Chains A and B, each alone.
Chain A
C-alpha cells in the first residue's frame, strides 16, 4: 500500500484510548495551533495596523491588535498616489512577465535536451550544467562581467543573468523523461522532429509540472531585489521590492507622510509606521492571492526536484 502525500501513516489509525495518548493529542493540537497563530499573526497584525487610525494606533501600547483601530484608507491612498511606488509595481509586473517568458523558453529547451538519451555530448553537457549548481564565479566577477557586457542599468541586467534556474530545469527534465516513449515514436514516424515532440507532446502532457516551474520563476522574479540593487541606477527601472526596501529600511515613508501632512510629532511617527505596513500589504497581496491556488503544486514541484537521477 502506498500512501499519498500528506496522509497520516499510523497503520489502521488505531484509536489510542490511553490517558497519556489523549493528553499528548491535546498538547500536540495546542502546539500546532500556536504555530498557526505565530505564522499568521505578523501578517494579520500588519493588515490591521495598515487600516488603523494613526492617533489610535499610537495609544494602543500594551494591547495586541485584534482588529483595526478605527478605519482609514488614507495610508493606501498615499501609497497608491506615490508615482514611484506605482511605477515600481508595474516594473515588477513587467519583470515577472518578460522574465518568465525568457526563462520558460530556455528551460523548455534545456529540459527537453537533457531528458533525451543517445546523443554523444549528453553526459558532458549534463555535467557542465549541474556543476554550476555547486560552483560559481561569485558575486564580484559576475558583476564586473555584466558591467563589461554593457548591461549595467538596463532591464537586461535583471532579465538575463538569472534567466535559468538549474533546479527548475532538472524538475522539468524529470517530468519530460517520464513521458512514455511510444508517444514520441509516433511523432517520429509521421516525420516530426524534436521541436514537434517538445511542443506537441511534452508540453501539453506536463502542464502541472510546467505550472510549478512557471510559478517558481514568477515568485522568484516578484521577490527579487538584490540584482536590482547592484545593477540598476535609474530609479524609473526599480522593481517594487527595491522601492519597498527604501520605504522599510531607508525611511522614504517619512517623506511620504510629511508631504501629506498626516499629523505632527508622535502622530507623524505612527503614520509613518502605517504607511510602511500598507506598502508591505500591497507588495505581498499578489502572492497571497495566488498562494491558495498553487500551494498544492508547489509541494509536487519540490518532490519532483528531489527525485534522484
Chain B
C-alpha cells in the first residue's frame, strides 16, 4: 500500500512540476485518442453486425463470421495474390532503382549537372496522385502518348488499362518514375559518409572505376541498403489503395484489385461495413506483424532502426 501511495504522490508532484508540458500534451493526446485509438477500439465492428441505427458500440456481436466469409470467399485468393505480386515486383524493380541512380549520380563530376538531375528527379514525388493517375490514363489510352510512340515503331495501339496483363507493368513503371529521385536521397546521404581516403588508397593500389564502385562504394552504403530492404520487405502486405482505385476498372480487377482497394469498394461503395472492416483488420494485423519483425531484425542487424 505504501508503495502505491508513494508512487501516486510522486506522479502528483511530477504533474505539478511539469504542468506546462502536460498542458501542451493535452490537445495532442486528445487528437491521438479521438482519431487513432478510438478507431482502433472501433475495429471491434469487424466482430459485429453493423447497423447504422445502433452505431459501432451498440451493434450486436457476430463472432468471426465476417472473417470466415472473407477467407472462404473468392476474393481472398485474388486480392492476396495481387497484393503480394505487386509488392514482390515492386521490391524487384522499384527498390533497386534509387540505389542505381545514387551510384550513377556519384560518378558525375559536374556539380551543376548533378544538381539539375537531382532536383528534377524528385519532383514527381510532390505531384498529386490524381494528376499522376490522370496522366497515366491519358498516356496509356488508345490515342495517348505511349501508343503514339508504339505506333511510330509499327506497333498496334490499344487502350492498355483495359487489359489485365498490362496493369502490373503500368503500376510498377509509374512507381519507379514517381519514386526514383526521392528514394535516392537516403543513399546519396549515405554515400557522403564513406571515407574519401579509401578511394585514394584504392586508386594508388591500381583499382579502376568499376573496382572502386564494387569494393568501396557499394560496401559503403550496404548497411543503408540492408535496412531499407528489410523495411521494404516489412511492408509487403501494404499496397496503397489510392493509386489502384484511380487506375483500375472492372475489366482489370483480376490483376489490379488488392486487399486495400477491396476494403474500400466493399466497405464504402457497397456499404458492407463489418465485412470490409474484418478484411481491413486482417490486413492491418498481418502488416503490423511484418513491420514489427522487420524493425526488430533491423535493430539486431545494425543497431540502427529508422525510429
Contacts and interface: CB of A to CB of B under 8 A. Distances in A.
Interface of A: 1-14, 16, 18, 20-21, 24-25, 28-29, 31-32, 35-36, 38-40, 42, 45-46, 61-62, 64, 106, 109-110, 112-113, 116, 118-121, 125, 128-130, 132-145, 148-149, 160-164, 170, 193-195, 198, 219, 222-223, 225-226, 230, 241, 244-245, 248-249, 273, 276-277, 280, 283-284, 287-288, 291-292, 295, 298-299, 302-303, 306, 308-309
A245 B35 contact: no
B109 A225 contact: no
B20 A194 contact: yes
B222 to A, nearest CB: 15
B131 A280 contact: yes
A106 B30 CA distance: 10
Contact of B137 (A134, A195, A249, A303): A249
Interface stretch (B68-76, B79-87, B120-128): B120-128
Contacts of A109: 24-25, 27-28
Contact of B123 (A3, A29, A273, A291): A291
Contacts of B115: 6
A137 B46 CA distance: 10
B61 interface: no
A4 B189 CA distance: 8
Interface string B188-213: 11011111111110110000111010
Given A6-B188, A11-B198, A303-B189, A125 B106 contact: no
5 contacts: A2-B192, A120-B14, A121-B22, A287-B126, A306-B189
A64 B148 contact: yes
Contact of B267 (A24, A132, A140, A298): A140
A284 B131 contact: yes
B199 A35 contact: no
Chain A to chain B: the 10 pairs with minimum beta-carbon distance, closest first: A11-B199, A137-B39, A248-B134, A223-B128, A194-B20, A138-B280, A141-B42, A110-B28, A3-B192, A140-B277
B209 A245 contact: no
Contacts of A141: 39-40, 42-43, 45, 56, 277, 280
A190 to B, nearest CB: 15
Query: Most chain-B Cβ atoms within 10 A of its Cβ — which of A9, A25, A148?
Result: A9
B196 A130 contact: no
Interface residues on B, range: 35 or more
Contacts of B169: none
Interface string B264-292: 10011000010011001101100010011
Q: Is the interface of A mostly helix, strand, loop or mixed?
A: helix
B130 interface: yes
Contacts of A230: 268
A113 B21 contact: yes
A244 B130 contact: yes
A134 B288 contact: yes
Contacts of A164: 28, 31-32
Query: Most chain-A Cβ atoms within 10 A of its Cβ — which of B28, B191, B196, B292?
Result: B28
Query: Most chain-B Cβ atoms within 10 A of its Cβ — which of A21, A25, A170, A249?
Result: A249
B165 interface: no
Nearest to B18: A119
B62 interface: no
Contacts of B131: 244, 280, 283-284
Given A40-B120, A302-B185, A225 B39 contact: no
B156 interface: no
A11 B307 contact: no
Contacts of B139: 42
A160 B10 CA distance: 35
Contacts of B43: 137-138, 141
Contacts of A29: 108, 113
Contacts of A193: 20
B128 A308 contact: no
A134 B276 contact: no
A118 B22 CA distance: 12
Contact of B35 (A61, A62, A161): A161
Contact of A144 (B31, B56, B145, B242): B56
Contact of A135 (B41, B50, B288): B288
B56 A145 contact: yes
B29 A219 contact: no
B107 A18 contact: no
Given A64-B149, A244-B130, A302-B185, A39 B24 contact: no
Contact of B196 (A3, A110, A248, A284): A3
Contacts of B212: 10
B148 A245 contact: no
B306 A39 contact: no
